[in-house]
Amino acid sequence: MTARRRLAARAGSQQWKGGNALLLLALIVPALAEGAPAQFGQQRNRNQREAPPVAWSHDPPPAGTMITRAEHVTREGSHVVLDGYAQVAYGGLRIQADRIEIDEEALSVRAEGNVVFERRDEKIVAESMEGSLEDGTAVFRNARGILGQDFHFVAETLEELDDGAFAIEGGAFTTCAQPNPRWKFTAGRAVVRPEKHVWLRNVAFRVKDLPVTYFPALYYPLEEDGRQTGFLIPRYSRSDLRGHLISQGFYWAINRSMDATFSVDHFTVAGTGLGMEYRYRGNSGSRGEAEGFVINDKTTENREYSLSFNVAQRLPARFRFSAAGDMFSSFDFSRRFQDSFSRSTRRFQRSKVDLSGQLFRHRIKFKIDRKDTQYTSRSSRRQTMPQFSITRRNLNLLGQFVQLGYEANYVRVGRSRRDDFQEWNRLFVGPTLGLSLPEIPFLQLRAEIDAGYLRYGGSIDPETDEFNPELGLSRRFYGTSLQLSGPKFERIFDTPGNFYAARFKHLIEPEANWEYRKSDDQSDYVNRFDRYDSSTQANQISFGLVNRLLAKRYRDGVEESSATDVITWRIQQSWYFDPTAGAYDSRYVSSSFEESEVEIRKSPIRSDFRFTPDQSVNGDWTMEWDPDERLFTSIRTGLRVGDRLSNRRFNFNWSRRARRVGGPESEEVDAKSYLRAGTDFFPTEVIRTGFDVNYDLTERRLSNIRLRTDFLFQCCGLNVEWIRYNLVSRSENIFHFSVTLGGLTSFGFGAGGRDSYY
């Protein structure tokens, strides 16, 4: 016997110093039964029995060392037989069986009867097994166990291959750790690579032994984070408009912070489409995601597409790049293929790109923006392609009381006007001088003096009254503004016994802002686009009143250091000495940003009320009263209760828009009113329910309703969802049913996610 196989006796155990052979087996280890170990290799009666040690150490033996014990040990040359509670530990594995045979020359192991094997997180129980230490193979008969952390199996034959994979014949598989799993896959053959993936052939999915569906082949990942490249489980759904859907996806784990999903989607009515999703996460909050879909729509005989993206990327030198867009080939396509009510009913699509940063204390910004809006009988487009600006603010000249700022802005703008699309260039250069008075108790006062020069590449021809993109125009303006805040009136209420807060503070603060702009007489020939064009000829004053209620609340019995803004209520109105400026004030919903023949001297009275008594409860109420039309032109109110961590969530929104038809003296009012409400209710950890409704109060029509219920079990979940559209442009029922398998993935029968196509 060579030194490599020399036996060294220990009390109650035996050690074998072996070579570099690796045993490729796997078993589940139950509690070890008590028995008398044999000291393999000692000079004594081979049939002698003695009491075993009190416990078998679970620490792995030294490298190249084998530890064995049994009730009875027999040796015939290089053949060693362990009988009765036979146990072997070698390297990182452990074997237990009624009988174990070891061939020292062939480096093989054979075990029979209640075979149990354990290695790392691979554990198997089998009727018998045999393997070779030399070539690293093993075969188990009538085996069951776990490979990896969650992959449970039962197999007629389990064979471990020399590359570490397991080949299984006649098996059943699940990630349920229960004695009677709620679901499982049965397959004729499977190849398992622990902690990586599994390939199944001739697969049947069963719930409580009831067959549900069949797959010729199936692949899914076994990694802990579930991010493994491979095909996803096919999906089926049905829609009234699009027909039956069969979808097959492929998931690509590009790296640790980037992945993509591709899908082929066949609708029996609409045709075949291709889908794509891409996601990445970078350092310092950088992120990006994109979703696209293209289809040859058989219902319209057109190729339709959608593309949405959102990117935020930090760049060197304090620069930041962002891009966002939601585009589609037609509004009709978006209405028919979107499952999200808000996205399917919107009237615009928009895309924009921003690049901005600080350079030598200057703010530099590059922007591209386009927005298309659809109205009842026409569509409109507004775009800036591109816009470049350099801005410097608050350059102190005389301490903190005098600050100088300046801006240079170049842009090429475009807008729809009647049936034409008009484009022109514009250059703006202007300084601003800010004056701040020394601090006065309860009062803040600031003044600004500014001037500017604008050069337009196109303007309105005074002879034809038509826009001429080649007729240049120059304008100069100067102006001043005065902002006043205060005096402030406040009062503090101490409430030591109050359940809500230790003290309250009520604050009343008036505010006023006067703005005056004077320019040359060229304003009538300007094709107005934004505030740069409208603010150059203005004389207006805005005033308002702010009410605030703050509270010092308790947290864990201790008064918080900062106050909670419980109520904020602001009322404001503007008066325009230039009646053309009223349509271009972005502070009011009623501003149309379109030229109007009606003179606007007074803005609506706007009221903004916000109520935030707690982090999980907040409400708002905004309305505008038009004094000329004697009408509430806009009202919106909302309430939200609950947060992501609560078991109940509720939201409610009501909005109303109105205008007088035929002018301020008319009694005919055109009003549109909508109601949106939704709730999520989790009565138990197993059941989750949700409800969303959109109701057109004007038409008295239930525009959209969504009902959903989730049943979440220990290792699987069921989702049932029904969506109903009842719009002039869309009448459709969508039914969604999906099953989620714990530790694996999900597949389903339905129309997809809330904000997804298909």
Residue 584 phi/psi, 5° resolution?
Answer: -120, 20
pLDDT of residue 47: 39
Least confident window among 34-43, 354-363, 547-556, 696-705: 34-43
pLDDT of residue 464: 85
Q: Which amino acid is at 552?
A: K
Chain mean position to CA 1: 66
Report the greatest alpha carbon distance in the chain. Answer: 125
Q: Which amino acid is at 241?
A: L
Asked if 604 contacts 624 with a C-beta cutoff of 8 angstroms, the reply is: yes
pLDDT of residue 67: 76
Question: For the segment 373-387, what is each residue's pLDDT rounded down to a tens digit?
Answer: 887 667 788 899 899
pLDDT of residue 128: 92
CA distances from 313 to 16, 385, 555 (A): 59, 21, 37
DSSP secondary-structure letter at 757? B
Binning pLDDT at 50, 70 and 90, where does residue 133 land? low
Closest to 457 (Cα-Cα) out of 446, 470, 444, 467: 470
Question: For the segment 5-26, what is each residue's pLDDT rounded down to a tens digit?
Answer: 322 222 233 333 333 332 222 2
pLDDT exceeds 70 at position 4: no
> Could you tell me how many residues make up the chain?
758
556 dihedral zone (left: phi>0; alpha: psi -120 to 50; beta):
left
Q: Does 555 or 336 have the greater pLDDT score? A: 336
Q: Does 635 or 347 have the greater pLDDT score? A: 635
State both tokens at 55: 């416990």
Q: Distance between CA atoms of 129 and 132, rounded to whole angstroms? A: 11
Q: Distance between CA atoms of 131 and 97, rounded to whole angstroms? A: 14
Binning pLDDT at 50, 70 and 90, where does residue 3 land? very low
Cα angle 258-260-266, degrees, rounded to a multiple of 5: 170
CA distances from 585 to 415, 483, 542, 629, 698 (A): 18, 17, 11, 18, 28
Percent of the chain topping pLDDT 90: 21
| Mean pLDDT within 389-405 | 84
Binning pLDDT at 50, 70 and 90, where does residue 283 land? confident
The three-state (H, E, C) secondary structure of 142-155, written as one string: EEEEEECCCEEEEE
State both tokens at 167: 């080949």
Question: For the segment 737-756, what is each residue's pLDDT rounded down to a tens digit?
Answer: 776 776 555 443 333 333 34
Buried b (16+ CB within 10 A) or exposed e, 354-391: bbbbeeeeeeeeebbbbebbbeeeeebebbbeebebee
pLDDT exceeds 50 at position 370: yes
- What mean pLDDT is reported for the chain? 79
| Mean pLDDT within 692-707 | 91
pLDDT of residue 46: 36
| Mean pLDDT within 406-435 | 89
Question: For the segment 665-690, what is each residue's pLDDT rounded down to a tens digit?
Answer: 677 888 889 999 999 888 777 788 88
pLDDT exceeds 50 at position 369: yes
CA distances from 10 to 15, 66, 127, 409, 516 (A): 7, 12, 30, 88, 100
pLDDT of residue 568: 95
Segment of 34-43, 186-195, 363-372 carrying the highest mean pLDDT: 363-372
pLDDT exceeds 70 at position 30: no
pLDDT of residue 525: 82
Segment of 68-77, 271-280, 432-441, 553-562 carrying the highest mean pLDDT: 271-280
pLDDT of residue 524: 75
pLDDT exceeds 60 at position 702: yes
Residues in CB range of 116: below 8 A, 6 or more apart? 27, 28, 29, 30, 95, 96, 97, 124, 125
Asked if 472 contacts 456 with a C-beta cutoff of 8 angstroms, the reply is: yes
| Mean pLDDT within 547-554 | 88
3-state secondary structure of 584: helix
Question: For the segment 112-126, what is each residue's pLDDT rounded down to a tens digit?
Answer: 999 998 877 788 899
Binning pLDDT at 50, 70 and 90, where does residue 60 land? low
Partner residues linked to 732 by β-bridges: 725
| Mean pLDDT within 41-47 | 34
pLDDT of residue 529: 82
pLDDT of residue 663: 67
Asked if 678 contacts 707 with a C-beta cutoff of 8 angstroms, the reply is: no
**Can you give the C-alpha Rg of the chain in angstroms?**
38
Which pTM does this prediction carry? 0.66
Binning pLDDT at 50, 70 and 90, where does residue 223 land? low
Partner residues linked to 671 by β-bridges: 658
Residue bearing tokens 């679901």? 183
Domain boundaries, the chain: 3-221
| Mean pLDDT within 615-641 | 89
3-221 belongs to CATH 2.60.450.10: yes
| Mean pLDDT within 81-92 | 83
pLDDT exceeds 90 at position 103: no
pLDDT of residue 289: 93
DSSP secondary-structure letter at 338? B
| Mean pLDDT within 67-87 | 85
